[in-house]
C-alpha cells in the first residue's frame, strides 16, 4: 500500500493496535507503527502527538460533545437527565470504525498500568467538564459533582455494552443512565 493512499489515520490506528497487541505497548515504537502502516514517521506525527494519542485521541472533542449535550438539555431537566442528554449526544461521535477497534483498544489499555492511569485521567476530565456544565445550568456544586461522576460510570458501562453489541448508542446510553440512577437510589 502506497504512502499517499487515503485513510492514513485509520491505517496508523490499525497498525498501532496490532503492534500493541502483538508486542506490547511499551515495546512498540512510532517508527514501527509508521512502517507497518506503510507510512513515514512524519505522517504519524501529522495525525498524533505521540503513540498514546492513538488510544486517547479526540478527548477534548468528546468532552465538548458532552458539555454541548448538557447545555442543550431541556431547561427543566434535572442533573441526571441533563447528563443523559450528554451521553446520548456522544452517539454522533462514535463510529462503526471505533466499535471495530474498541475491543482491541480496551485490551491494550487494560494490559498497561500507564494506559489505565491515562484512561482514568480521561474519565476524570469528562467528569469535570460535565460538572462545570451542570453548574452553569444552576445545579449546586455537590449535586453537579455527583451527577457528573454517575455520568462517567454510566458512560463507561454504556461504552462496554456498545462494543459488545450491535445496538445503537442512544438506547444503550439511556439504559445505562437508568441503571446507574436505580443503583444510586438503593444506596439510601
Whether domain 58-185 has CATH 3.10.20.30: the reply is no
Topology (CATH) of 8-53: Arc Repressor Mutant, subunit A (1.10.10)
Residue 174 near residue 153 (C-beta atoms within 8 A): no
Domain boundaries, the chain: 8-53, 58-185
How much is the average pLDDT of 36-48? 94
Percent helix, strand, coil in the chain, to 5, is 75, 0, 25
pTM, 2 dp = 0.88
- How many CB atoms neighbour CB 97 within 10 A? 12
Confidence of residue 4 (pLDDT cuts 50, 70, 90): low
The string of pLDDT tens digits covering residues 13-27 is 999 999 999 999 999
Distance from first CA to last CA of the chain, Å, rounded?
59
Percent of the chain with pLDDT over 70: 97
How far is the C-alpha of 122 from the C-alpha of 140, rounded, in Å?
A: 24
3-state DSSP assignment of residue 98: helix
Residue 121 near residue 63 (C-beta atoms within 8 A): no
Cβ neighbors of 159 (< 8 A, separation 6 or more) are 102
Confidence of residue 1 (pLDDT cuts 50, 70, 90): very low
The string of pLDDT tens digits covering residues 119-143 is 999 999 999 999 999 999 999 999 9
pLDDT of residue 95: 84
pLDDT of residue 59: 87
How far is the C-alpha of 151 from the C-alpha of 183, rounded, in Å?
A: 13
Amino acid at each position: 500500500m502506497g504512502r499517499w493512499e487515503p485513510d492514513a489515520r485509520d491505517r496508523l490506528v490499525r497498525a498501532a493496535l496490532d503492534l500493541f497487541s502483538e508486542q506490547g505497548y511499551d515495546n512498540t515504537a512510532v517508527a514501527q507503527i509508521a512502517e507497518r502502516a506503510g507510512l513515514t514517521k512524519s505522517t504519524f506525527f501529522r495525525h498524533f502527538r505521540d503513540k498514546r494519542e492513538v488510544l486517547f485521541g479526540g478527548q477534548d472533542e468528546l468532552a465538548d460533545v458532552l458539555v454541548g449535550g448538557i447545555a442543550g438539555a431541556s431547561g427543566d431537566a434535572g442533573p441526571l437527565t441533563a447528563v443523559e442528554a450528554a451521553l446520548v449526544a456522544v452517539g454522533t461521535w462514535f463510529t462503526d470504525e471505533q466499535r471495530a477497534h474498541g475491543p482491541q483498544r480496551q485490551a491494550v489499555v487494560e494490559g498497561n498500568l500507564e494506559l489505565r492511569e491515562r484512561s482514568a485521567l480521561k474519565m476524570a476530565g469528562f467528569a469535570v467538564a460535565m460538572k462545570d456544565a451542570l453548574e452553569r445550568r444552576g445545579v449546586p456544586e455537590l449535586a453537579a459533582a455527583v451527577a457528573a461522576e454517575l455520568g462517567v460510570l454510566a458512560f463507561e458501562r454504556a461504552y462496554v455494552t456498545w462494543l459488545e453489541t450491535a445496538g445503537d448508542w442512544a438506547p444503550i446510553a439511556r439504559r445505562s443512565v437508568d441503571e446507574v440512577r436505580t443503583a444510586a437510589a438503593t444506596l439510601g
